[in-house]
Amino acid sequence: MELSFLTSKNIAEGIEGMLSPFSMAAMDSVLAFQATAGIHGDMTELGVFRGKSAAILAGRLATEEQLHLFDIEDYFDRPALERIGARLSFNVGSTLDLRRRRFARGGTRFCHIDASHQFEPTLHELALADYMLSPQGVVCLDDYTNLNYSQILAATFKYLFTRRTDLTMFMVTNEKAYLCRRKMFPIYAEFVLHRAISEMAKRGIDDVCIARTDDTPSYGAFYLRPKEPGETDDLYGKAIYQQFYEIKRHSPVIGAAAVVARKLRRFFG
């Protein structure tokens, strides 16, 4: 298990809140991949509570980077979070009161949204994340597949398909959705397809598989999940869906995405 993850995971497990070991490992895998790809920038969390997921985020901050934490109440477990030794900014207030001018445009490489989970606030939080997100960054939505909060699904797809945005989904789990800029989709998708299972195993999560049963310019996300009892294949229904376990480049990889792609050639081998 990677040392930096083990440290932040141990701290996170001592903080009150709801974040499964699977989600800890998946989130940290994406963050570690960003580091490998040379993707830098601050991180932001909208909805923190005590700071369980913030501990995982903070564990992947570089020296010059900062984690900006926003919650409607001051419930932060500061002593636990400060043990990580990262630069943290604690902010109290409703996300609905936040405006784009509060953030540096394109200055955030990872934004975790875990606030009210209501429809209109989720739309607003996605708009904020879209504004602050760097060309290579990732937005992570909590409780995306929790149908107790089905409005998150509705708000997410309303934003993606009715607003002017280049965000697209590249991975979902049983708890979260991960989005990136469209030009970065081939790079993050290749990471999920070729590296996610082994990266989860490094973090103590074995018996993981990937499902992908469609791929279009509008949607081609992978589903990363634990294997079902008796399931042995790493790729769900590969004999039927084999054509979807390839990375098509629906749009050219140019600009910042091309720079990252060059850095990753040796990583993927």
Alpha-carbon distances of 176 from 113, 143, 153, 252, rounded to whole Å: 10, 6, 11, 27
CA angle, 210 as apex, 7 and 267 as ends, to 5°?
60
pLDDT at 248: 78
E-strand stretches of 65-132: 66-71, 87-92, 108-113
80 within 8 A of 51, measured Cβ to Cβ: yes
Which superfamily is assigned to 3-191 in CATH? Vaccinia Virus protein VP39 (3.40.50.150)
Q: How far apart are CA 119 and CA 220, in angstroms?
A: 24
pLDDT value for 257: 57
For residue 4, what pLDDT is reported?
83
pLDDT at 18: 93
The tokens of 176 are what?
């979260």
pLDDT beneath 70: ranges in the chain: 1-3, 249-269
Helical (H) or strand (E) element with 176? strand 176-181
Dihedral sign, Cα of residue 149, residue 152, residue 153, residue 155:
positive
Q: Are strands 167-172 and 222-226 parallel, antiparallel or unpaired?
A: parallel
- DSSP tag of 106: T
pTM over 0.75: yes
Note the pLDDT tens digit of each residue in 43-72.
999 999 999 999 999 999 999 999 999 999
Domain ranges of the chain: 3-191
